[in-house]
Structure 1
Amino acid sequence: MSAFQRDDRLPRYQRLRDELAEQIAQNRWRPGEAIPTEAALASEYAISVGTVRKAIDVLVSEGVLERQQGRGTFIRRPQFQSSLFRFFRFQGLNGERLVPESRILAMETLQAPLAVSQVLSLPAGTEVIRLVRLRLLNAQPVLAEEIWLPKSRFLPLLTVNLQRQGPLLYPVYESLCGQVVARASETLTAEAVTAVHARLLQIDVGSPVVVIERLACDYAGAPLEWRRSRGHASHFRYNVEIR
């Protein structure tokens, strides 16, 4: 049963919004593609064009869709490439931004620890993939990352050499697994580094590190990835524009 048919207690536009989000998450339309016109969707779901427009308005406000004047409404592709630079300063001698090299240190499958299953909304005992990744600049470690993924949605990752896929994981998730990260929430904390992460980052135990915890979700809001990135406080910066 589709989201549009499931709960008639919700307004029709909200049910259509949920249905369209599920269809997008299931790759009925790919990022960058146009969705059908409002008239076509109204005919498909036997509802008014006004109801369709209201559902699309919600998805536009949420950043799932974007309207392009004279062209139609398209699936918006989020840009995560610059997210690191909100919190960490990785620059060359001339001030240019540098993207850290990626090195996969470990990849394993295991039953999800309780905290992981709760964050990823998985039943207890579900198998997950755990990645340990190091980010380096000029061969020096700057970030240590622990990444958790539902195994059922990312099984193809186990068949390739991720080391050869480049420094960004999200394009790999999409091309190999059909999983598109549409949004993410991040929490920022600080802690004294443990022996394990001190060894990875090549810093003294107890040194201050900044921890960015990210939960990434698909277009329907289902969790796809939980990661913790730890970087030495000397690289940390926080930049926000207040008006």
Structure 2
Amino acid sequence: MSFPKLGQDDRLPLYQRLRDEMMNKIANREWLPGEPIPTEAELTKLYGVAVGTIRKAVDTLVSDGLLQRSQGRGTFVRRPNFDASFFRFFRQVSSSGAQQVPEGRVIARELVIPDAAVQQALQLPAGAQAIRLERLRLIDGRTVFWEEIWLAEARFARLMEIELSAFGNLLYPFYEELCSQQIASAQETLSIATADGPTAAHLGIEEGKPVAVIERVALGYDRQPIEYRLSRGAADTFRYQIDIS
């Protein structure tokens, strides 16, 4: 019986080569977010390795946040909740006092050669173009965040062909549906700045007032950067909380 070849670098442990093979299946959409992966028995039969090797590879992907175990149901490709970062850092509530995920509304789009910071974040070659989106996040019609979002034009060219009103309220499922680009994880950095003219105008605050800024680099299942985003919100709604034990 022949088995699929794992990575050819024999210097790597077998479980790590298996992990890379499984990660490729996720990146290539053979295993889709929210769906179960094959069982341990099926993976053992497929790759011809011991069940202990299978478990170690799966454990690594669970630790990396790519897979999620569900008791009694199996192991699934994880679809992370990226809006959780806003709840972690900001007190945003509706007029009724309930905490809610802000509505998203894309208000502008352009194709540009980005500055060095964006180019580096997206790992773009010199001179490559990027799509820049401006997006508002609203609660009860009130802007609570102003976002600038950059995407590699090579991956997201179809986004230049649609009406702004066609953008979904949640962008990551929209990226997946329209451009086959899946977001697996993100790296976020939080800082405090002062509102310049555009920020103040969008947030309805005075220029020079403090704002909290969340800088996010969103990664695909292949660990390559897909999106670079700056989200700005008024600092008086910002909070920092951490549990220490």
Q: Shared fold by TM > 0.5?
A: yes
Aligned to 2:108: 106
State the alpha-carbon separation in 2 of the partners of residues 102 and 198 from structure 1.
18
**Counterpart contact for 2:195–2:208, Cα < 8 Å:** yes
- 1:60 has 2:62 as partner: yes
209-218 vs 80-89, which moves further:
80-89
Shift of 1:152: 2.1
Shift of 1:212: 0.6
State the alpha-carbon separation in 1 of the partners of residues 53 and 83 from structure 2.
35
State the alpha-carbon separation in 2 of the partners of residues 137 and 94 from structure 1.
11
Within 5 Å, give how 1:83-122 maps onto structure 2.
83-122=85-124
In structure 1, what residue type is equivalent to 2:7? Q
Shift of 1:82: 3.1
State the alpha-carbon separation in 1 of the partners of residues 230 and 93 from structure 2.
22
- Say if 1:65 and 1:138 are closer, same or farther in 2 by CA, change over 3 A: closer
**Counterpart contact for 1:3–1:16, Cα < 8 Å:** no
Aligned to 1:142: 144
Structure 2 unaligned spans of 5+: none
State the alpha-carbon separation in 2 of the partners of residues 180 and 83 from structure 1.
19
Identity %: 51
- 1:8 has 2:45 as partner: no
Within 5 Å, give how 1:11-90 maps onto structure 2.
11-90=13-92
Q: CA RMSD in A?
A: 2.2
Aligned to 1:171: 173
Please list every run of at least 4 consecutive aligned residues from structure 1 whose deviation after the TM superposition is greater than 6 angstroms: none
State the alpha-carbon separation in 2 of the partners of residues 69 and 94 from structure 1.
36
**Counterpart contact for 1:192–1:205, Cα < 8 Å:** yes
Post-superposition Cα deviations, 1:116-147, rounded to whole Å, max 9, x if no partner, equal 12111222222221111122333332211110
State the alpha-carbon separation in 1 of the partners of residues 44 and 164 from structure 2.
43
Shift of 1:215: 1.1
- TM-score norm. by structure 2 comes to 0.89
In structure 2, what residue type is equivalent to 1:190? I
Structure 1 unaligned spans of 5+: none
Aligned to 1:126: 128
- Say if 1:242 and 1:162 are closer, same or farther in 2 by CA, change over 3 A: farther
**Counterpart contact for 1:100–1:167, Cα < 8 Å:** no
**Counterpart contact for 1:130–1:148, Cα < 8 Å:** yes
- Say if 1:108 and 1:7 are closer, same or farther in 2 by CA, change over 3 A: farther
Shift of 1:66: 1.9
Shift of 1:92: 2.5
State the alpha-carbon separation in 2 of the partners of residues 73 and 137 from structure 1.
35
Aligned to 2:197: 195
